[in-house]
Amino acid sequence: MFGGRRGSASAAATCGHCEQTIVADEKHKGTFFTITEAGAAGKIHTECWEVYQDRNAEKCMHCKGPVAQIPGRYSGKFFAPPAGGKVHGECWEAYNRKAESVERCAMCAEPIAVMPGRFSGQFFEFDNGDKIHGECKKAYHATKSERCAHCDEPVAPEAGKFSGEFFVVEGDRRCHAECHADFCAKRAPKCLQCHESCSRHGSFSGEACVYKEGQVHAECDQQYREARAPKCAACRKPVVGQYYPTGSASGGKCHVECWERFQHANATK
């Protein structure tokens, strides 16, 4: 690109395009651009500037106009596509929409490229090959990602909310790692002893003992069995573990440790 800076004549100089002296006359205002590239023409009349750039500057890959600062037409800013060449900043979006080789966002179908004010050029690639603008990621997950079995939000990373990790539940459904405890608590059977969910939460490991009547936390099992166990015929404490039958019609039981005392108390006088 041939760049330049604008000035006004303070001493006679020759225009590098029309080769006339740069002064104010019937055709010229006396203002000029100075070429900044080494070995270029030097100073160019403001009136000659556009024609000079049309002839000498590198051309835009999209509109074929000169890649240069031309007041009222081009800012002079440009992008360099991977295939080579230059594209005006003003033409960049249209160039990308037309280019067949440019990868497109699987959500909005727009080119994955820098588009000032719209797309940063950052993208995400998924296991299925889809590429998504950083700006389209949330919308993509909302429509394409599997939903959490608990909260029904997309199972995908979301800053400050979801890590993207998940548990497989109910066959092949997914549940956010952050939702898993609540999911289990809502669906798990209630402990027969404490009536809380038989799931891993709080001080509970998630392990449970299964009885005909239902389930009991491993942490509650001792208390559950003692509360429902028959009482020792000697000490009246719950009989849990080994015991001797008392032989009574009611099917009484006696701790092994209490058996001798029981026999002594019930011996025939």
For residue 37, is pLDDT > 70?
no
Q: Which of the residue ranges 32-41, 64-73, 138-147 would you say has the lowest mean pLDDT?
A: 32-41
Range of the domain at 206: 188-227
Same domain for 222 and 236?
A: no
Same domain for 42 and 54?
A: yes
What average pLDDT score do residues 78-107 get? 78
Task: Confirm whether 171 is domain-assigned.
Answer: no
Same domain for 67 and 118?
A: no
| pLDDT on residue 1 | 43
Domain count, the chain: 4
Task: Confirm whether 40 is domain-assigned.
Answer: yes
What average pLDDT score do residues 17-30 get? 84
| pLDDT on residue 39 | 52
What average pLDDT score do residues 169-183 get? 85
Residue 82 or 230, more confident: 230
Among 178, 127, 126, 129, which Cα is nearest to 150's? 178
Task: Confirm whether 70 is domain-assigned.
Answer: yes
Task: Confirm whether 180 is domain-assigned.
Answer: no
Residue 53 or 117, more confident: 53
Same domain for 246 and 218?
A: no
Task: Confirm whether 173 is domain-assigned.
Answer: no
Same domain for 24 and 90?
A: yes
Burial class of residue 53 (count of CB atoms within 10 Å of its CB; 0-12, 13-18, 19+) = buried
For residue 52, is pLDDT > 70?
yes
Same domain for 62 and 124?
A: no
Statement: the pTM of the whole predicted model exceeds 0.85: no
Same domain for 8 and 74?
A: yes
Among 78-82, 145-149, 250-254, top mean pLDDT goes to 145-149
Task: Confirm whether 153 is domain-assigned.
Answer: no
| pLDDT on residue 41 | 58
Same domain for 31 and 84?
A: yes
